[in-house]
Copies of this chain bind each other. A is one copy, B any other.
Amino acid sequence: MYKKPIGIFDSGVGGLTVFKEIRKRFPFEDIIYFGDTARVPYGSKSRKTVIEYSIQNARFLIQQGAKIIVVACNTSSATALTQLQKLLPVPVLGVIEPGALSAVKTSSNKRIGVIGTEGTIRSQAYSSAISKLDKDCDVFSKACPLFVPLAEEGWESHEVTQLTIKEYLTSFLKHGIDTLVLGCTHYPILKTSIQKFVGNKITLVDSSEAVTDKLNEILPNRENKVTGQDWFYVSDNEEKFNLIASKILNMKIDKLIKVKLGEGWFLN
């Protein structure tokens, strides 16, 4: 089991924030990353479609030998996790439950905000997960659809981004939250600008850190003489992926392979 890689998938490049955290904490593990750049974004797609895509992505990682699947995409985690866990022969971790746990631990006044894509917010996955952990918590949610394209445009601290944050969050902050879950893998890219707007009294919860804590429980990080290897797969547009990846990871990706959807036999 130890030699097989950790598999991570996301709707696109945003999940590299999760990859980065896992790579940092598991230096000896091999990691495979799949970004479905041909079909990004997932956040505005229907439940059924997101489930179908998520299953295809996870199966691809298992074909490549993944011993565990991390669903970096919040929309997929919110929508498809149960189905993935039912269908797949390896453990599957989503980002929602770890993020919810981290939020509950962080909040003192039990007023928690969650921002994410339309799909994630519509699913109410964070609200349900937080309520299960602590039924006294009040959860306030807000979809912020423009944060993904702004992050992809590389406008992390641009005036337009600041104004968009203001537009989405001004009235939202009246709920008096002390904790804000960044419920989309792209949002940590805008973390500095969001923190600046909400102020230091609100703690931001980054689910990439939370899911890595969870992974650490399942997969003890044993030492090894050999540093882990990385493989990156995308379904389209390698150049653009590499451009944004180099900003998130501060490195160029050498082994970036494009895959294609095709027919195959699968157990249902």
Contacts and interface: CB of A to CB of B under 8 A. Distances in A.
Contacts of A118: 240
Contact of A44 (B45, B49, B145, B240): B240
A148 B44 CA distance: 13
A87 interface: no
Contacts of A39: 38-39
A136 interface: no
Q: What is the total number of copies of this protein in its complex?
A: 2
| 7 tightest A-B CB contacts, nearest first | A149-B149, A160-B163, A46-B237, A160-B164, A49-B236, A46-B236, A45-B236
Given A39-B39, A49-B236, A163-B163, A150 B158 contact: no
Nearest to A49: B236
A153 B149 CA distance: 11
Nearest to A258: B46
A223 interface: no
Contact of A160 (B49, B152, B167): B167
Contacts of A158: 167
Contact of A146 (B44, B150, B159, B237): B150
Residue of A145, A150, A160, A263 with most partner-chain B CB within 10 A: A160
A116 to B, nearest CB: 15
